[in-house]
Amino acid sequence: MKCINKKMNLLVLLCTLIFLLTGCIRTPEEVVVDYELSTYDKSLFLAELNFQDLCVTLGDVNETGFPNVNTIYGGGLFDVTNQKVLFGQSIFQQMYPASLTKVMTALVASQYGNLDDFVTVSPNAVNVSPDSSLCYLASGDVLTLRDLINGLMLQSGNDAAVAIAEHIAGSETAFVELMNKKAQELMATGTHYINSHGLHDENHYTTPYDMYLIFNAYLKNAELAEIAGKSTYSLSITQADQSQREVTWTTTSLYKKGEIPFPSNYQILGNKTGTTLEAGNCLLTFAQNSINNGQYIVITLGAEAKNIGYETTTGLLESVDYE
């Protein structure tokens, strides 16, 4: 994550200079805010204070009381309520996101599209690997953009991802340009997309911290946040011959399916899973503590088995000192 590393190195230098010149110690977050306001044109990042409401870290974090995690490639635990990184492993290292990509697909679709628009599925959209996760759409199917985002986030349909991309931008290639633009706006500078679904490409990658930035932005959209928390979604699809097909899509989250218990004293408000051979098992979780109402984002990337991501997520959440 070259850009962030350079920026953070500059931050350390600035902290030192401020201490020498003023004789006072300031937090890294305060220095970042002042530096950005005085140095950068606001339109560069499309935000007045880029770090004002974000969890910020200069590197990996392993606070006392958290388990040592050696079963995932990288990840993080982010205290959204108090804007603090509680745990971070390989937090700025580039990794493959698999279907976690679809969080950005949904975010861009909601920004540029109307969720009530009707979408006609093209032959190209259904021409994706039959061995990958699908909503089993057919060419000529008509459904709303809202329907497609539900299929994208719950059933993780790669066909839904392409259908969304083509509807919003005319082609998947053009849509991916919007995805990369949005990543830069969110300061997710260690992220680069090649497609809208997350099937493997060596030039398609993210970092644990970037995934936090992207998922955090996604959750600020109330309807998208609600979709991420659903277990099922039922709809009626108008087929090419004008007949109706009744469909129910089911979440890929083992938490939401009831196959893995929620962490003690937590509600799981949202999940997104992703798996490829190269990326391993990836999991995004949005959770709320039922005692102090604190909200947390947990990211695990590269777990060797599906259950490991959940076990790691549960272990991290249950290690939080929330009282």
Which pair of tokens denotes residue 276? 């490829």
From the list 156, 196, 272, 306, the catalytic residue is 156
Only one residue has tokens 């699908």, namely 134
Task: Tell me if residue 220 is catalytic.
Answer: no
Alpha-carbon gap, residue 186 to 212, rounded angstroms: 10
Q: Residue 24, SS3?
A: coil
Torsion of CA 252, 256, 260, 265, to 10 degrees: 140
Task: Tell me if residue 306 is catalytic.
Answer: no
Where does the chain show beta strands of DSSP type E? 61-62, 74-79, 84-89, 118-120, 142-144, 232-238, 244-250, 266-276, 280-289, 295-303
- What is the residue-wise DSSP string for 239-304? PTTS-EEEEEEE---HHHHTSSPPPTTEEEEEEEEEEETTTEEEEEEEEEETTT--EEEEEEEEES
From the list 90, 102, 196, 253, the catalytic residue is 102
Q: Residue 32, SS3?
A: helix
- Residue among 144, 214, 175, 187 nearest 49 (CA): 187
Task: Tell me if residue 156 is catalytic.
Answer: yes
From the list 99, 133, 196, 253, the catalytic residue is 99
Alpha-carbon gap, residue 267 to 312, rounded angstroms: 16
Cite the active site residues. Answer: 99, 102, 156
